[in-house]
Structure 1
């Protein structure tokens, strides 16, 4: 059987893998992308679609800023519209307990080029009149927005293929070995692929591949709880998210131009990577509807027309694994984005292509290296994570 060869093999066709394939082709590198199902079928296509920067781990903001720049140029860059709307994003809290946290984050974020505007009281009511009476303050990011997750990864994949990337869907990896300086990847149907560099971007399935290279990670799969209502007149252009120490209060929603309200948040449901399935828990949907009415009373009594989930990967410190292997030359990782990777996808692809092509990147990614699991996280980093990192 003929062995297909390229400069780089990418395992995983979500937005991270597909975007990396595209940007590697922009750099003139030959690429083979292997996806066990269809491009964007799992977490990249089943998430909320938030293209937001605020609320992130602060050292992740340079990556988020790089990604936003790409989102804004996507139609010209890849030749397709993935429904990105820079509609603005507000992050709100109930009462006054977390107002100080929002203000502190806004001040710190300026250092990273993220300008946030604080709203409270009558000024907040005038600017965002749909917010419920319990909302105490809002942090507004005018350049953030949302996009259609069902379109993004496949669009990057098609653009990469048009530029010469070899895309293989419905191709499940059986084993990865080293053959001299190359990686030899065998599929379950017997096909063979070879390259001197490889990127593992396999989401909730990446831990099994890491284990083959003696770099185990404590990855957990979970299912986001998503839903969409019947269409109503379009008027809520800003994406809204709640910050709270209580999982049941966390909710986010956005309205698309067709009028439907897309919502998510709260507790996550079970996910089964071996079955490629994740499930929505009815109790979670009921809680989301209660929280939606609390957050925006005008949205009460809407009919829910669909709920869904997908298989997402979570790391113990709520940060992704991204960068070179600590043990194997030519091996790279980009997975475990913990439910807040959609906005980062184009930037991750650009950074990983730069790293694979040149051996370095202009965007700092040190906090995300896999080597961090072999040493204790500094207490200061733990404090930052506890205060600032939130789910999508």
Structure 2
């Protein structure tokens, strides 16, 4: 079986790798460079805390692959299971945390509830005014700049063709499958996998499947190096006025995001830029998490084009209109942790016709006029 994968972010490259590992002939097509879109804009958070509960089986599957990533891909992609600390600053956040802890347990996720004495003892300098926290010890972070190129290189070693910097001019169903016309020629295959991110809805629309999606850009930044002392990823249970997330890399820099609205992005050309005018507000929002940010220099800011589906859930699974077409796009800023698992699931679904991981809530049929 031959498969064309449209889109070379983490989802597309992971899919190409797992498809090739199953012995399928794969051609991955990317309009820019592998990993240059939403993936490189990512914070690098590998968390299960706070997820939509029916997404947890996929998140568990993905975490198991993150643990194997270095051995599987032949390079260190900086997966660090440092834990995920999520602070509480008020009664709304406390209720949200406790409700999630209780609801997530039957789904196989056990979170520790910490009081502030625990937080101050284990993580000094973090969230001094918080009233509590949850801690997920097996979660952590990875490097968004390394993971998609690593999957692409590993897929290529298994025989996949990685085609970069090509414009997709048309996509059509044929008697034997699909033909994709690009600026570098025509590619044909029996199966088409749409992993085009924010552009994924445009591909789906060509086959009569409308998906309400917006392209947005997060505001990300990184500080000068500081003494290394913050081990876990740090976030917030929201609703009480404090927002944002941060982590410290081993070189000492603090990577941060959140706290401000994501910017609107035009899909043509799809370039997202950080807004310097928002930086001061963003840092003020982050100070309750880490007061030390008040006295550091910001050395770089960036953004990237992410696809946000109207209901906040991705589109995953087979097309509702076209045999041989599959979708995996619209991860709404939550796809980094899921990426390896999504690739594995889509490869399983394409190769054997079914998957053990539940995808019902992510099916594209939910947007069809007759969906119920």
TM over 0.5: yes
Partner of 1:237: 231
Corresponding position: 1:353 with 2:353 = no
Corresponding position: 1:11 with 2:6 = yes
Separation of aligned partners in 2, 1:110 and 1:127: 24
Corresponding position: 1:210 with 2:201 = no
Partner of 1:312: 306
Corresponding residue to 2:164 among 169, 178, 185? 169
Separation of aligned partners in 1, 2:59 and 2:369: 26
Corresponding position: 1:148 with 2:143 = yes
Task: State the secondary structure of the residue aligned to 1:285.
Answer: helix
Task: State the secondary structure of the residue aligned to 1:72.
Answer: helix
Corresponding residue to 1:323 among 317, 325, 348? 317
Q: How does 1:258-337 map to 2 (within 5 A)?
A: 258-266=251-259, 267-337=261-331
Q: Is the 8 A contact 2:236 2:245 kept in 1?
A: yes
**Per-residue Cα deviation, 1:197-231 (whole angstroms, up to 9, x for no partner):** 11000011111111110101111000010000000
Report the Cα offset of residue 377 of structure 1: 8.4
Question: Which 10-residue stretch deviates more, 345-354 or 120-129?
Answer: 120-129
**Structure 2: gaps spanning 5 or more residues:** none
Corresponding residue to 2:69 among 64, 68, 74? 74
| Matched residue count | 371
Partner of 1:41: 36
Task: State the secondary structure of the residue aligned to 1:102.
Answer: helix
Corresponding position: 1:132 with 2:120 = no
Corresponding residue to 1:54 among 45, 49, 54? 49
Task: State the secondary structure of the residue aligned to 2:173.
Answer: strand
Task: State the secondary structure of the residue aligned to 2:292.
Answer: helix
**Per-residue Cα deviation, 1:180-205 (whole angstroms, up to 9, x for no partner):** 0310110134x011111110000111
Report the CA distance shift for 1:311/1:147 in structure 2 as closer, same or farther (over 3 A): same
Task: State the secondary structure of the residue aligned to 1:91.
Answer: strand
Partner of 2:333: 339
Corresponding residue to 2:363 among 340, 364, 369? 369
Task: State the secondary structure of the residue aligned to 1:97.
Answer: helix
Report the Cα offset of residue 273 of structure 1: 1.6
**Per-residue Cα deviation, 1:147-175 (whole angstroms, up to 9, x for no partner):** 10010001000000011001100112111
Task: State the secondary structure of the residue aligned to 1:44.
Answer: helix
**Per-residue Cα deviation, 1:286-313 (whole angstroms, up to 9, x for no partner):** 1221122221113321100000000000
Task: State the secondary structure of the residue aligned to 2:288.
Answer: helix
Separation of aligned partners in 2, 1:303 and 1:345: 32
Separation of aligned partners in 1, 2:237 and 2:35: 28
Corresponding residue to 1:24 among 15, 19, 27? 19
**Structure 1: gaps spanning 5 or more residues:** 1-5, 379-392
Q: Is the 8 A contact 2:92 2:239 kept in 1?
A: no
Structure 1's consecutive aligned runs of 4 or more residues displaced over 4 angstroms after TM superposition are 375-378
Q: Is the 8 A contact 2:209 2:368 kept in 1?
A: no
Report the Cα offset of residue 90 of structure 1: 1.0
Separation of aligned partners in 2, 1:276 and 1:72: 32
- TM-score w.r.t. the length of structure 1 is 0.92
Task: State the secondary structure of the residue aligned to 2:335.
Answer: coil
Task: State the secondary structure of the residue aligned to 2:91.
Answer: coil
Corresponding residue to 1:159 among 154, 168, 171? 154
**Per-residue Cα deviation, 1:235-278 (whole angstroms, up to 9, x for no partner):** 101100112137x7320000000000000002112312211211
Separation of aligned partners in 1, 2:88 and 2:277: 23
Report the CA distance shift for 1:100/1:309 in structure 2 as closer, same or farther (over 3 A): same
